[in-house]
Amino acid sequence: MSISDADIAFALELFDGLGPLTTRKMMGGLCLYQEGTIFAILHGDGSIWLKGAGAFSDRITAEGWTRWTYSRDGGKVTAMPYWRLPDAALDDPEAACKLARDALSQLK
């Protein structure tokens, strides 16, 4: 599934409060960077996933966010360090930017 221009525009608008962002297309999706640090991935299906590390990772796991996993050949499931942005944050740029700042605080 290829990422749409509308999905890219939505993600950039959602995180506009973070200041200038850069992007890079990868594997059918889009990586979002703030000051050179990747903090989110936009999947080809339009879903947005924040990168988790440290205390932020612990917090969002405890809150029950969905973690990105995939199955390798042979059925082994691999978990990636990304969690799906909650639906409520998709409708609230201020909340989305706060979550992104929380993520970035553990990544820089």
3-state per-residue secondary structure call for 10-75: HHHHHCHHHCCEEEEEECCEEEEEECCEEEEEECCCCCEEEECCHHHHHHHHHCCCCEEEEECCCC
Given a contact cutoff of 8 angstroms between Cβ atoms, the answer to whether 80 and 31 are in contact is no
pLDDT score at 18 = 98
Q: Which CATH architecture has domain 5-107?
A: 2-Layer Sandwich (3.30)
Q: What is the pTM of this model?
A: 0.93
Encode pLDDT of 33-59 as tens digits: 999 999 999 999 999 999 999 999 999
Band of residue 29 on the pLDDT scale cut at 50, 70, 90: very high
